[in-house]
């Protein structure tokens, strides 16, 4: 299949799990795929695997650590310096079960899953618009239904809960809100946005969960190949080409959390802009 020939995709967290399967699915359809991740060794190994599997060698690597805003800026600059179009950004990278703070001073899950993703998207979105039509896809989670809101003080402090699951769910709510507000801001540009639940997947997102518990959890999880389906659907399907800012689960649109209001999305956006400005200046 070569229906994506001439289209360029950037997939974050693409060296394993859902991200790698998303990159594989895109490459198998003829796309040029840029894989962004923290480990060059692991990402290049994934690239070789994908190339061997699909026959597509139009793959590239960009170093990216979403918890470090300087790394995010350098990654975006590297992409832009290449001078090639960028049609679709798949914000796949994320973590769960880890406790602490990012280098940039945010609760670890929130800073990695939302703040770094927000900054990367902002740095690249004008280029995506210029390359359009395009799409921006946020991999969120059904966990976004859990929070009753966002504690703006807590996201600037180290993780409090033992499992870090509550903090993870807040970060996933932020992914949904980000896609909603970004969709409103990009209306009429030819770039559409999406957030999605990939399913409960046996992927490296759970790498910091204790081994025994992690193995038990994975018995009830879907494969990474299954997990990539909704990401690929949102990134490529003509069925959703005219939709923007919506949430998907199982390749179908679904109502997001009632907490995911336009008002909260706008507030998160304003605060995220302020955080980025304060951290990068």
Catalogue the active-site residues.
168
Q: Please give the Cα distance from 116 to 93 (Å, whole number).
A: 10
Neighbours of 274 (CB within 10 A): 10
Please give the structure tokens belonging to residue 250: 């199982």
| 83 to 113, 133, 242, 261: CA distances (angstroms) | 27, 17, 27, 37
Angle between helices 117-131 and 165-185 (to 10 degrees): 30
Q: Please give the Cα distance from 131 to 91 (Å, whole number).
A: 18
Query: Tokens 């690597």 appear where?
Result: 61
Name 168's Cβ contacts closer than 8 Å, sequence gap at least 6.
Answer: 95, 96, 97, 109, 113, 141, 143
């Amino acid at each position: 299949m070569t229906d994506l020939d001439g289209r360029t995709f950037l997939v974050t967290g693409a060296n394993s799990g859902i991200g790698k399967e998303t990159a594989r699915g895109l490459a198998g359809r003829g796309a040029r795929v840029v894989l962004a991740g923290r480990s060059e060794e692991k990402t290049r190994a994934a690239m070789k695997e994908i190339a061997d599997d699909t026959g597509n060698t139009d793959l590239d690597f960009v170093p990216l650590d979403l918890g470090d805003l300087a790394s995010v800026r350098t990654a975006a600059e590297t992409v832009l310096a290449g001078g090639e179009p960028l049609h679709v950004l798949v914000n796949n990278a994320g973590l769960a079960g880890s406790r602490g703070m990012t280098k940039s001073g945010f609760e670890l899950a929130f800073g990695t899953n939302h703040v770094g993703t927000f900054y990367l998207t902002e740095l690249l979105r004008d280029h995506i618009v210029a390359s359009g039509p395009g799409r921006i896809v946020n991999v969120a989670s059904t966990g976004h239904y859990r929070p009753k809101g966002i504690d703006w003080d807590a996201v600037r402090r180290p993780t409090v809960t033992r499992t870090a699951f509550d903090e993870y769910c807040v970060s996933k709510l932020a992914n949904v809100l980000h896609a909603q507000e970004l969709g409103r801001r990009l209306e009429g540009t030819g770039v559409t946005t999406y957030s999605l639940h990939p399913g409960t997947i046996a992927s490296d997102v759970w790498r910091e969960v204790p081994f025994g518990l992690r193995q038990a959890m994975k018995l009830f999880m879907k494969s990474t190949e299954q997990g990539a389906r909704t990401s690929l659907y949102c990134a490529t399907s003509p069925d959703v080409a005219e939709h923007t800012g919506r949430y998907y689960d199982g390749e179908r649109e679904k109502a997001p959390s009632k907490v995911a209001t336009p008002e909260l999305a706008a507030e998160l956006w304003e605060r995220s802009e302020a955080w980025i400005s304060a951290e990068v200046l």
